[in-house]
């Protein structure tokens, strides 16, 4: 087999380097997370759609791009609102968080428990998942789950591929599509500059009706269950976000079925990073085994070709040998025949000469 | 001024200004991308379909150099060139789509997101581009007359071919695996834990069909360049590739049926999207399979060529289905994405630049003919 040393070393070295990168993928095992991480419980039965939280979010973040513990001055981080925050009619439209808006409150017409129509308002923002799909998807780790619970974004490494937006089950992250040079992924930061020091986010603090409660996530789950137990007729008996996609920091209680207030109820409880674990686990085996397998195929092919060459040479050799033998035989036969012929002619010539001599002698004697 | 040149000039005249607009005013000025639909035509066509169609490089090279199928030697170099240019254009198309394309090297050198399938794709495309360049470089060195360098480059061919197959297995399947993270957004008939295998197997089909398609075009357009002995083998090579494609298409079709069974999605076949799915697998997988088989049995190279075109369209359709058409299928019609004319124009522009580059190279370098000084064959 004629693989050069150079080829082999090149293949082995590169395989080694790249498989090191691949094997790290398995290192991100499911973890229980920081048990003291924060969360927010949103009680939709109390929300009246006043949009104070939207205004507070804008005021808090309009010149601040929170991605680390320290405040990050950023003039014009959020554009001014197109419609003033005291215009409540917009809650009837289907707004969503976007490249310029971290949170929205929308109105839903729902059927109450006793069948009556009622309006339910829902605040929507990043859910800050315990095992975020966006962080798993990001190929430069621009999105990370902090130990305090916030999923924060680092614009200094983001390439703008927008895979995080594809991956998010809630379709939350927005993008600054009209920014040619410094476009960023934008989403609620959980006011990390506040929550990292234990202060509640701006929206929670500003809400006049106490719709939101900030605290340790584990405490909030207990608190929510207590609320349901205390007023079972007031709530659907489920905490949305407790288990969805593996659990989220922002959780909800609702007076009506969750799918009536714009929540997807078909997301399942599997954390999203689990979904690619199976595929990523085949990477090291392929990297390490394909090489030898293909070199084996190559060796087989080379050997097959060598044997075919040898067979051909043998066949040619045999053919040549038998042709030579046949030619030699033919030549020998021809030689024999020629010798016989020459003998015969000699005999005849001798006979003729003898006869002529006899004749001549006879004529001589007759004279 | 041939008709092709006139049309190409017109496409360039439209594509260059749009490029300028996109990069000076941002993605919103040239695309219909939105927060709900962050990936559109440039990802679905330029990246996803582009990578699949450029698979002819590794498929043909492994057939000839690893499996010893010397019959296809005449199409190896054009296939590798198509593969190299294909991947290069994928990167160009990607640069249009990325928010900060100058940061494309970041996952290689700045910050590593090792849990991400996209991390794998990025690394592999970069490495594979290099590998394809190494595989093609002997042709460049022959053109430049650099004998010694060419000799060294040739020695790397087998290693590069092996490496190319390893990389291709992983990144072709990884492009499908990207969508494993979107079970709530991709229609269940296309969403499957088997997406990576679907993408990998169909890349082999795409590669074989593209080689048939490209060699047919080259045969017609560059007839004066092709070695007479290769010209004579053309039909035989076409039918050989067609046979391979038919076999793989059978396997792919069977596996797609298994995919439906695995997800227990039979009842979905009788919905709007179900009919579209059936159109894809019956019209663009089963039908080409039958046609290729017929072409091989009847030794009909022309039928094989038309079937190759049908198959190529089918692969593009599949990639667009997974990434754009069956993606966000639950959204109401007014929120669904459709590419802007500028997105389509840019894609046409990129393909045209690719064709012009292919022509430039083929008219100068020994791709369709053997350089007389280098008649020795690897």
pLDDT at A36 over 70: yes
Check residue B163 and give its pLDDT.
94
Is the four-CA dihedral B324, A128, A137, B348 of positive or negative sign? positive
User: B158 at the A interface (CB within 8 A)?
Assistant: yes
Q: Which of A97, A282, A22 is nearest to B114 (CA)?
A: A22
In chain A, which residues have their Cβ closer than 8 Å to the Cβ of B38? Answer: 162, 165-166, 175
**Residue for token digits 């990607």?**
B94
Token pair, residue B160, equals 């590069």
Pair of tokens at residue B287: 């039908």
Give the whole-angstrom CA distance, residue A304 versus residue B46. 41
- Percent of chain B scoring above 90 in pLDDT: 90
Pairing of strands A104-111, A38-43: unpaired
Residue with tokens 């205004």: A55
In-domain check, residue A283: no
- Residue A330, domain member (yes or no): no
Closest-CA residue of chain A to B173: A279
Whether A176 is in a domain gets the answer yes
Q: Does B100 touch chain A (CB under 8 A)?
A: yes
For B329, phi then psi, to 5°, come to: -60, -20
Whether A139 and B162 lie within 8 Å, measured CB to CB: no
Give the strand order in the sheet containing A38-43. Answer: A212-216, A38-43, A250-253
8 Å CB contact between A123 and B101: no
Tokens of B169: 């297995």
Structure token digits, residue B176: 């499908």
Closest residue to B116, CB basis, from A136, A169, A287: A136
pLDDT in tens, B48-62: 999 999 999 999 999
Please say whether the beta carbons of B125 and B51 come within 8 A.
yes
pLDDT higher than 70, residue A234: yes
Inter-chain touch B118–A179, beta carbons under 8 Å: no
State whether residue B178 sits within 8 Å of chain A by CB.
yes
CA distance A172 to A190: 13
Q: What is the mean pLDDT of chain B?
A: 94
Strands A38-43 and A250-253: parallel
B34 token code pair? 């939105």
pLDDT tens track for B63-73:
999 999 989 98
Look at residue A9 in the predicted model and tell me its pLDDT. Answer: 54
Residue A73 has what pLDDT?
80
3-state secondary structure A102-165: CCEEEEEEEECCCCCEEEEEEEECCCCECCCHHHHHCCCCCEEECCCCCEEECCCCCCCCCHHH
ipTM: 0.94
How far B255 CA sits from the closest chain A CA (Å)? 18
Given an 8 Å threshold on Cβ–Cβ distance, is A6 in contact with B103? Answer: no
Distance, CA of B156 to CA of B159 (rounded, Å): 5
Residue B372 falls inside a structural domain: no
- Could you please report the per-residue DSSP string of B248-295? HHHHHHHHHHHHHHHHT-GGGGGSHHHHHHHIIIIIIIIHHHHHHHHH
> Rounded to a whole number, what is the distance in Å from the CA of B370 to chain A's nearest CA?
23
In a domain, B377, yes or no: no
Assess B169–A contact: CB distance below 8 Å, yes or no. yes
Nearest chain B residue to A26 by CA: give it: B115
How crowded is the C-beta side of A241, counted as CA atoms within 13 Å? 27
Span B110-115, mean pLDDT? 95
> A336 to chain B, minimum CA–CA distance in Å?
49
For residue A62, what is the domain's CATH number? 3.30.70.20
Kindly state the average pLDDT of the residues A259-277: 96
Q: Are B165 and A290 inside 8 Å of each other by CB? A: yes
B378 touches chain A (CB under 8 A): no
Contacts 24+ apart (CB under 8 A), A2-11: A2/A302, A3/A295, A3/A298, A3/B158, A3/B159, A4/B155, A4/B159, A6/B155, A6/B156, A6/B159, A7/B155, A7/B156, A7/B158, A7/B159, A8/B159, A10/B156, A10/B159, A10/B163, A11/A291, A11/A295, A11/B159, A11/B162, A11/B163
User: What is the domain extent for residue B79?
Assistant: 3-367
pLDDT digits (tens, 9 = 90+) for A39-69: 999 999 999 999 999 999 999 999 999 886 5
A3 in a domain, yes or no?
A: no
Q: Is residue B373 part of a domain?
A: no
In a domain, B160, yes or no: yes
DSSP H/E element including A215: strand A212-216
Would you say residue A30 has pLDDT above 90? Answer: no
A66 by Cβ neighbours in 10 Å (0-12 / 13-18 / 19+) ranks as buried
How many residues comprise chain B? 378
| DSSP assignment letter at B64 | I
* Residue with token string 């849990």: B115
3-state secondary structure (DSSP) of residue B115: coil
CB B103 to CB A272 under 8 A? no
**Residue B130 forms contact with A (CB below 8 Å):** no
Q: How many domains does chain B have?
A: 1
Please tell me which of the candidates A11, A167, A179 has its beta carbon nearest to residue B159. Answer: A11
Helix (H) / strand (E) element for B169: namely helix B157-177
pLDDT tens-digit readout, A67-121: 865 667 888 899 999 999 999 999 999 999 999 999 999 999 998 767 778 899 9
Q: Indicate the DSSP class of residue B339.
A: -
pLDDT digit string, tens, across residues A270-281? 999 999 999 999
Instruction: Please report the pLDDT score of residue B371 as a whole number.
Output: 83
Q: Could you tell me if residue A304 is inside a domain?
A: no
Query: What single-letter DSSP state applies at residue A95?
Result: -
Instruction: Quick: pLDDT tens for B123-179.
Output: 999 999 999 999 999 999 999 999 999 999 989 999 999 999 999 999 999 999 999
Give the integer Cα–Cα distance in Å for B107 and A160. 12
pLDDT at B378 over 90: no
Q: What is the mean pLDDT of residues A327-332?
A: 91
pLDDT in tens, B273-299: 999 999 999 999 999 999 999 999 999
pLDDT of B103 higher than 60:
yes
Domain that holds residue A114: 28-276
Other C-beta atoms lying within 10 Å of the C-beta of residue A23: 16
Whether residue A26 has pLDDT greater than 90: no
pLDDT at A1: 47
User: H/E/C letters for each residue in A165-214?
Assistant: HHHCCCCCCEECCCCCCCCCEECCCCCHHHHCCCCCCHHHHHCCCCCEEE
Query: Domain holding B64: CATH number?
Result: 1.20.1630.10
Share of residues in chain A with pLDDT > 90 (%): 79
Across the interface, which of A6, A99, A272 has its CB nearest the CB of B155? A6
- Residue from the list A165, A279, A291 with its beta carbon closest to the beta carbon of B35: A165
Kindly determine whether residue B110 and residue A171, on different chains, have CB atoms separated by under 8 Å: no
Residue pLDDT, tens place only, B82-91: 999 999 999 9
CA atoms within 13 A on the CB side of A149: 28
What is the number of structural domains in chain A?
1
pLDDT tens column, A131-144: 999 999 999 999 99
């Amino acid at each position: 087999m004629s693989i050069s040393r150079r080829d082999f070393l090149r293949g082995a070295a590169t395989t080694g380097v790249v498989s090191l990168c691949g094997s790290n993928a398995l290192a991100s095992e499911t973890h229980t997370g920081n048990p003291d991480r924060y969360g927010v419980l949103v009680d939709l039965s109390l929300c009246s759609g006043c949009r104070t939280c939207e205004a507070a979010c804008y005021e808090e973040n309009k010149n601040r791009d929170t991605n680390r513990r320290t405040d990050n001055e950023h003039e014009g981080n959020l554009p001014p609102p197109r419609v003033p925050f005291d215009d409540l009619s917009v809650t009837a439209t289907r707004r969503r968080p976007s490249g310029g808006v971290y949170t929205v409150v929308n109105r839903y017409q729902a059927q109450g428990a006793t069948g009556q129509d009622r309006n339910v308002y829902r605040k929507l923002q990043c859910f800050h998942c315990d095992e975020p799909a966006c962080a798993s998807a990001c190929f430069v780790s621009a999105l990370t789950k902090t130990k305090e619970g916030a999923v924060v974004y680092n614009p200094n490494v983001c390439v703008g591929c927008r895979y995080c937006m594809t991956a998010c089950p809630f379709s939350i992250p927005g993008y600054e599509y009209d920014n040619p040079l410094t476009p960023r992924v934008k989403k609620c930061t959980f006011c990390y500059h506040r929550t990292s020091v234990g202060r509640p986010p701006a929206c929670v603090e500003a809400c006049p009706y106490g719709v939101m409660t900030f605290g340790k996530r584990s405490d909030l789950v207990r608190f929510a269950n207590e609320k349901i137990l205390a007023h079972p007729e007031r709530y659907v008996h489920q905490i949305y976000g407790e288990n969805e996609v593996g659990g989220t920091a922002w959780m909800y209680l609702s007076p009506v079925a969750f799918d009536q207030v714009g929540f997807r109820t078909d997301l399942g409880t599997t954390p999203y990073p689990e979904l690619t674990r199976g595929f990523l686990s085949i990477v090291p085996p392929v990297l390490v085994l394909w090489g030898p397998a293909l070199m084996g195929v190559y060796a087989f092919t080379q050997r097959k070709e060598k044997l075919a060459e040898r067979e051909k040479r043998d066949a040619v050799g045999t053919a040549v040998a038998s042709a030579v033998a046949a030619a030699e035989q033919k030549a020998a036969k021809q030689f024999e025949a020629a010798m016989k012929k020459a003998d015969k002619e000699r005999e005849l010539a001798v006979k003729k000469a003898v006869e002529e001599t006899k004749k001549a002698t006879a004529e001589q004697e007759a004279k | 001024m041939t008709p092709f040149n006139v049309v190409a000039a017109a496409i360039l005249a439209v594509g260059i200004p749009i490029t300028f607009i996109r990069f000076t005013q941002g993605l919103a000025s040239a695309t219909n991308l939105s927060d709900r639909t962050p990936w559109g035509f440039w990802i679905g066509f330029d990246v996803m379909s582009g990578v699949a169609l450029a698979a002819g490089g590794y498929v043909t090279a492994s057939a000839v150099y690893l499996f010893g199928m010397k019959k296809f030697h005449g199409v190896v170099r054009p296939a590798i060139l198509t593969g190299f240019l294909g991947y290069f254009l994928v990167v160009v198309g990607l640069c249009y789509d990325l928010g900060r394309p100058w940061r494309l090297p970041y996952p290689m050198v700045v910050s590593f997101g090792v849990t991400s399938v996209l991390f794998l794709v990025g690394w592999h495309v970069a490495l594979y581009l290099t590998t394809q360049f190494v595989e093609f470089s002997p042709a460049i060195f022959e053109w430049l007359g650099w004998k010694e360098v060419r000799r060294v480059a040739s020695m790397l061919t087998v290693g590069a071919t092996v490496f190319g197959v390893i990389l291709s297995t992983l990144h072709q399947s990884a492009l499908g695996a990207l969508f494993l993270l979107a079970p709530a957004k991709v229609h269940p008939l296309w969403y499957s834990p088997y997406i990576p295998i679907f993408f990998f197997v169909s890349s082999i089909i795409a590669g074989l069909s593209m080689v048939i398609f490209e060699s047919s075009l080259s045969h017609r357009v560059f007839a004066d360049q092709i070695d007479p002995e290769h010209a004579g083998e053309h039909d035989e090579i076409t039918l050989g590739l067609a046979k391979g494609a038919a076999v793989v298409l059978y396997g792919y079709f069977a596996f797609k049926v298994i995919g439906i069974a695995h997800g227990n999605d039979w009842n979905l076949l009788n919905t709007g999207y179900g009919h579209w799915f059936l159109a894809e697998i019956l019209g663009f997988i089963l039908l080409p399979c039958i046609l290729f088989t017929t072409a091989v049995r009847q030794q009909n190279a022309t039928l094989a060529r038309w079937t190759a075109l049908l198959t190529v369209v089918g692969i593009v359709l599949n990639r667009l289905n997974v990434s754009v058409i069956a993606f966000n299928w639950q959204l109401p019609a007014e929120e669904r994405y459709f590419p802007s004319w500028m997105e389509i124009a840019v894609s046409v522009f990129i393909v045209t630049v690719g064709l012009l580059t292919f022509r430039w190279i083929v008219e100068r370098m020994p791709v369709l003919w053997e350089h007389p000084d280098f008649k020795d064959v690897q």
